[in-house]
Each structure stands twice: as structure tokens, then as C-alpha cells.
Chain A
């Protein structure tokens, strides 16, 4: 469990654009890391590179002895199981029930026939229900995922990630489509998993105050490059201005990007 996730000189180009440009990072096990930066800075691409949903153009990704960037076939699928991913749009199967959606997290362990027949063992169903219980979703277990609210769907996605028994959890803007109350539930869920299970969490955020509130360590990206890597306290206004490119602004107000406090006036 003490394997370090390390990116060395990782780049990903899409035609002329360098979505991720020569990024090097070391992430120790058990850390809660937030990645910030404006839209198009390369945050999503970096997470997708780590999960290998896309392949790096250059550089190497390692996890302990595993050279992640070179994995293929079953080894690659095992890696994806070990580093679970949560998406902004949840990416659940709307027409399947919540339980089956969670059990999709077990597919890497299933043989072809069992998988095609949607056959899972009692132990796996127990795991799924326990995961749902941690996120207070047992009453919804037999509902179709599409009928749930956004916040509930994101928690189903977390439960699915949990039954993968991952070592790392990647979350790509997990709260960007949620209201503040649900965003708090989801972030608290991620924090609980990080503290109780010792799972490394790497989360993309576009709200600075969320990043400050939850993350041990904050990484900031701009134009595909890692611009800042440090604690929340080290993330001063000057640094923030640098990352978001708001030159000429007297005051950068974090409340502008907040999902935490809202003032609703009729």
C-alpha cells in the first residue's frame, strides 16, 4: 500500500495544443490532493492520463513498480480498477438500477460469461450494499439510477468506486454540477474515504475555497503546466492571480467561484 504515484515529464498533445505539458508529480499514498486551474488548463487530461483513459504522448507514469503508462490488456484493466475514477457527469447507466451500477465496479474481477449474464456473487452484492450504506443510499438500491438526483448519482458513483477496492481515487470536477448542499455531501464522502480507508484522493476542483477546505495539498495548473504545488496556506493571492491569469485585478474574490455560500435573493 505504500506505492508512490509518480508522473515524470508527462505530456499529452492534441494536435498543436499541449493539454498537459511536461508535468512531473509525486503523490504519496493517503494524500488528499486538489488540482485547480481555469478551464482548459489540463486538469481533466491529467486525471484521464493517470487512469489511462487516454495515453500520454510522452513521459512515464509509475505506481510503485508498475509502469502505468506501458500497461496493456488485463494489466491495464486491473490498474483502472486500482485507481477508480469519478466524473463530473457521474457516467452512470441511467436505465440500470443503483445496485447494478455499483456492481459495475466489480467487472474487472468477473469472467466473460458471468459478466455478460450480469451475474454477481452474494459477497459482491454484500460489498455493494455496504458501500451504498456508507453513502446513505441503501433505500435507493433498487431504483433506476436515472431517477436519482445529481447528488445521489454522484454518491452512487463513489460507491461504485469503493467496491473496486482502489488504492487511488480520481475525481474529475465531482461537484461542478451539484448544488452546495450536495457538493458538501460528496466532498465529505471523499474525505471520509481518504481518512478511514487510507485511499489516496486526487480531485479536480474549480472552487478555491473547497480546495482550501478539504485538501492537504494543492496543485495548480495553467496551460498544461504545473504552476504551484504546496499547502493551502502557501496558496497566496499572488499565486492565485498567477494561476487564473487575472492580471490587473485589484482584488481576487474567492466567493465568485464558490459553491459553498450562496446568497439567494428573490
Chain B
């Protein structure tokens, strides 16, 4: 459909005059475009080639330093020694280890065999509940901490650059120290037990969530905040009314995701005495109860899978709800 001709030529030029930039659409403009376009494509190709070369070089260097190309001496079945590539030589041993942890299950005595495999089930169940509760409480603390710190740590919302600098460094410190190290510190300070675990995971979660939330904050539309400001709202009012409603769906989504991650973490930190199932890994390894390891693995795998499934359902429902209302 052709555009309706409502305007006379005079008026057209009047509009062109008012829009200030009068486009130059002669043949020279096309030639110029062709030249610019070719130049840009050339630049993109060169950048891509350089980037790929750099990446590949670094990859090889890393593998070299990490002993991926190491040749090691192995004993062959006939007793002689031979040189082999480390990965080829090590893979069978991995199988051996896994085989050791597998329980003996026979069809005739399946019930009894299972009972023997999960022989410490009463202790494990108690510790499993403890594990999930540690994750739950740590997520709660981490959400509050991360949420409050995420606003001063967002470039577009921070009251000034010093607050931005300090909160960002604080969040970095909280998340770059691994949970296991925090757990060691807190076990030293507050003695063995789940409290140390909760604190360890909470601190790490604060750092990780604060970073994620602040990235969400940096993508919001600033117009509503200006609207609040222009009505006489404080910085806190601008955040509460202008920013929070915009970021809430993403915050809920990231929080549920973090809960899943925290369940995994809380099942490990017991290794250093910070509560949960992790302590059983240590016990099993030191007593060489290899089948216990597989039993614990099954328990954690099932729990994590269940929580993943549940929180995914919940997340989708919340997102769906957000769109409907």
C-alpha cells in the first residue's frame, strides 16, 4: 500500500528542514555505505580469527600445564613396565574405584542386600534433613544480604561511587572464598556443627546472589525511578517503588536456583565438620566403607533431583503468574 499523499512538496521540505538532518540519498551515499560495510565485515573477520587463535593457544597451554599430555609409567599384567599416556592409563583405575563402591545386590536376597547397603539409614536420614535445613536457612540469610547489598552495588542505582566500590568489593570477598573455606573458618570460630555450615553457605550465597541481583538491577528501566524522585521520594523510595517491582520476578527465580546449589554445598561442607551429610563421606572414606559412598551418592542425587524438579515447577508457576496478573 503506497503512503497516502497528504502533504504538498512545500510542506515535505518544511519537515525535512525541521528534522535538522537532511539525509543525503544520492548514489554517492550508497557507494559510501558499500565501502563502510565491506570495511566493517573485514574488521569482524580479523577480530574473529585473532580471537579464535588466542583461545586455542590458551587452551593448549592450559592442557600442557595441567599435565594432560603427560606420559607415565604403568605396570602391565605380565609384570613389565611401560610408558603410557596418562589419561589412557588412568581410566581403568577410575572404573576400579567405582566398582569398589558398588554394593552386592542379588535378586534372591534383594531386601536384605538393600538393608545392608543403607545400613546407617537412620543416621543418614537425620543428617539429610539437617543438610536441607542448612541450605534453607543459609539461602534465607543470603537472599536478605544479597538483596540489600545489590542496590548500592548497581552502577545505575548506587548513591555514590564509594558506596559502589565498597559494596562490590564486599560481595566479591564473600563469593570468591569458597564455602568449604568459610566453613573451616567458622568451625574454628564457632566449633563443629550445623551453625558453622549455615554461616559459611550464607556468606557465599550473599556474595553470589548480590552479584546476580545487581546485574538484574542494572538492566531496569530508570523512568519509574525518576517518576518517584520527581514526586519527592527519597533514594529508598525510588528503590522500593521504582526498582523492586521490576526486579522481583528475576530475584525469585535466582533465589530458587541458589537454593538448589546450596543443597549441593551443604551436603559437602560436613566434610570439615560444618554439619550435614558431608561428615559421613569422611567417616566412610576413613573406614574404607566404599559401598557407603555409593549409598550417600544415591541419597544426595535423589534429594537434589527432587529439589531441582520442585523448584523448577515453582519457578515456572511464578513466572506464569507474573505474566497473568
Q: Which residues of A contact B233 (CB under 8 A)?
A: 77, 104, 107-108, 115
Say whether A108 contacts B6, CB under 8 Å: no
Q: Which of A31-56 contact B (CB under 8 A)?
A: 38-39, 51, 53
- Expressed in whole angstroms, the Cα–Cα distance for A252 and B243 within the complex equals 45
Interfacial chain A residues near B43, Cβ < 8 Å: none
A263 and B6 contact, Cβ closer than 8 Å, known pairs A115-B237, A144-B325, A164-B231: yes
What chain B residues lie within 8 Å of A39 (beta carbons)? 20
Indicate if the CB atoms of B14 and A104 lie closer than 8 Å: no
Q: Is the CB of A116 within 8 A of B240?
A: yes
Q: How far is the CB of B89 from chain A (nearest CB, A)?
A: 59
Across the two chains, which residue of chain A brings its CB closest to B221? A94
CA of A53 to CA of B7 in the docked complex: distance in angstroms? 39
| A86 CB, min distance to chain B CBs, angstroms | 9
* B-side interface mostly: helix
Distance from A215 Cβ to chain B, minimum over Cβ atoms (Å)? 21
Complexed CA–CA distance, A21 and B20 (Å): 21
Given contacts A92-B224, A95-B246, A256-B11, contact A80 B231 (CB under 8 A): yes
Closest to A244 in B: B18
* C-alpha gap A38/B20 in the complex (Å): 10
- Whether the Cβ atoms of A78 and B236 lie closer than 8 Å is no
Give Cα distance in the complex from A246 to B233, angstroms: 42
Asked if A91 is an interface residue, CB under 8 A from chain B, the answer is yes
B224 touches A91 (CB 8 A): yes
Give me 7 other A-B pairs in contact (C-beta within 8 A), A94-B245, A160-B227, A263-B6 excluded.
A38-B18, A79-B232, A85-B230, A91-B226, A104-B231, A118-B241, A251-B10
- Partner-A contacts on B (CB < 8 A): 4, 6-7, 10-11, 13-15, 17-18, 20, 223-224, 226-234, 236-237, 240-242, 245-246, 248, 325
Which A residues lie at the B interface, using CB under 8 A?
Answer: 38-39, 51, 53, 77-81, 84-85, 87, 89-96, 100, 104-105, 107-108, 110, 112, 115-116, 118, 144, 157, 160-161, 164, 244-246, 248-253, 256, 263, 265-266
Which A-B residue pairs are the 9 nearest by beta carbons? A108-B232, A91-B227, A81-B232, A95-B245, A85-B230, A77-B232, A80-B232, A93-B224, A107-B233
